[in-house]
Chain A
Amino acid sequence: AAGVIQSPRHLIKEKRETATLKCYPIPRHDTVYWYQQGPGQDPQFLISFYEKMQSDKGSIPDRFSAQQFSDYHSELNMSSLELGDSALYFCASSSRGPASDTQYFGPGTRLTVL
């Protein structure tokens, strides 16, 4: 079965640079969630989109922005990167159908800020 696709899988940036993370949800899933997992931490919710509109917002820095496009893929844009932004970034998707409560996670993008 098709899964959530995230690209790139690994990203190395310098401080103050910009990064863009992409997420392609499972086909026919209309809701996308972004989570950040620091080393040794549990995943923390950043932001979500439902039918291309922002649905909920968590502890996302103002330097970060995100959107969902007409094909339901989503991008997380991160500017003025800081050392503390180094983390694993997960995208998850869900649908409105049966078991719509269940979020399926992508493999994550590992961001390293030097």
Chain B
Amino acid sequence: AQTVTQSQPEMSVQEAETVTLSCTYDTSESDYYLFWYKQPPSRQMILVIRQEAYKQQNATENRFSVNFQKAAKSFSLKISDSQLGDAAMYFCAYRSASPASKLTFGTGTRLQVTL
């Protein structure tokens, strides 16, 4: 079974600074997808970024980028120019490449953004 580990329960960053959230996973599969979801106080689950395991190039979405290390099974999220609206719980998630596969989530990292 696949597992996802987020070892940082809480992180803090100053506005306009950069922060990196860590995620590691365990799988025996070679083809899969990785995601970061954001859950603000409203508790809506919002997709931040996705990575296809067969692509070596790291995904980027505006101020959000990932560092995907397939051999190390590591998938960290970098948030640049942090904004107050980035404060939320961030979940790393794994999905097999099989059709209609479930998401397996990590335990989340709560990000606080300070002035």
Count, chain A residues at interface, CB 8 A: 28
Number of interface residues of B (CB under 8 A): 24
A33 touches B45 (CB 8 A): no
CB of A104 within 8 A of CB of B102, answer no
Which chain A positions have C-beta within 8 A of B44? 105, 107-108
By a CB distance below 8 angstroms, the chain A residues around B47 are 102, 104-105
Segment among B12-20, B21-29, B70-78, B103-111 that sits at the interface with chain A: B103-111
In the complex, what residues of B have CB within 8 A of residue A104's CB? 47
> In the complex, what residues of A have CB within 8 A of residue B42's CB?
107
Q: Would A42 and B99 be within 8 Å (CB), given that A101-B50, A104-B47, A105-B45 are in contact?
A: no
Q: What B residues does A55 contact at CB under 8 A?
A: 99-100
**B64 within 8 Å of A (CB atoms):** no
Give which listed residue, A37, A101, A108, contacts B33 with CB less than 8 A: A101
Determine the distance from Cα of A35 to Cα of B44 in the docked complex, in whole angstroms: 13
Q: If A42-B91, A42-B108, A99-B50 touch, does A33 touch B103 (CB 8 Å cutoff)? A: yes
B residues in contact with A35, CB < 8 Å: 103
Q: Say whether B62 faces chain A, with CB atoms less than 8 Å apart.
A: no
Q: A42-B108, A88-B43, A108-B43 are in contact. Are A101 and B95 (CB under 8 A)?
A: yes
29 examples of A-B residue contacts, CB within 8 angstroms? A31-B100, A33-B100, A33-B102, A37-B43, A42-B106, A42-B107, A42-B108, A43-B91, A44-B105, A45-B104, A48-B102, A50-B99, A50-B100, A55-B100, A94-B100, A96-B99, A100-B99, A101-B33, A101-B52, A101-B95, A102-B35, A103-B95, A103-B103, A105-B37, A105-B45, A105-B47, A107-B42, A108-B43, A108-B45
Residues of B near any A CB (own CB < 8 A): 33, 35, 37, 42-47, 50, 52, 91, 95, 97, 99-108
